[in-house]
Amino acid sequence: MAGQGMERREVLRVMALAAAASQFPGFRRWAFACDHLADGALQPRPAQYTPQFFNPHEYASLERLTELILPSDGSPGANEAGVSEFVDFMVWSDPSLQYRFRYGLAWLDAHASNLHGKAFLDSGADQQTSILEHLAYKDRYRQGEEDGRAFFSLAREYTLMGFYTSKVGLEQLDFPGFKFYAESPGCPHGGDPEHLHLPRPKY
């Protein structure tokens, strides 16, 4: 349900935001993709994440929402990457996001209650998916859900941001630019005679 990846023009902005977030010591699962440990030791992490902005119900709803946007379909998704932790921290850090996320989660609860008589988190998995599909796909848009569509777009943006700036997310992309080597790995074609006897470059 993620739709599409982030645009290239957003990469630098997103990585800068994620780098700032990586200084927060309270993350249990989310880890910045570009963090490299000089001594090779894992830094201690808390046994559980304590939400910085959302109340327990809001945070549980956010966690479920990010999981539905990027599910674990045969590979790690938002849950494994700790995306909800990242989003909570980013919202806590940016007052301009706080009302939009809090209102959006309240809208989801009210909308689910109108449709199914239960809050979004308490609705069945099929009901949750149906609600989000009507917000995500243009051919399923319904009148009166404009606020929900705006919130879903925002939540999806930050879900993708949290995932693709995490170690888990970039491992899925297998992007070599973010790999860390203690020493040069050398030529991957070491057994090829043509690579062993390359002529010296001319300058």
**Which 3 state secondary structure label does DSSP give 199?**
coil
For 114-144, write each residue's pLDDT tens digit.
Answer: 999 999 999 999 999 999 999 999 999 999 9
Contact 51, 40 (CB under 8 A): no
Report domain extents, the chain.
8-196
**Which 3 state secondary structure label does DSSP give 24?**
coil
Cα distances (angstroms) measured from residue 11 to each of 26, 33, 36, 95: 24, 13, 19, 22
For 145-182, write each residue's pLDDT tens digit.
Answer: 999 999 999 999 999 888 888 877 677 766 555 555 55
* pLDDT more than 70, % of the chain: 63
Residues β-bridged to residue 32: 166
Query: What is the mean pLDDT of the segment spanning 79-100?
Result: 91
- How far is C-alpha 134 from the geometric centre of its chain's CA atoms? 21
Q: What is the pTM of this model?
A: 0.74
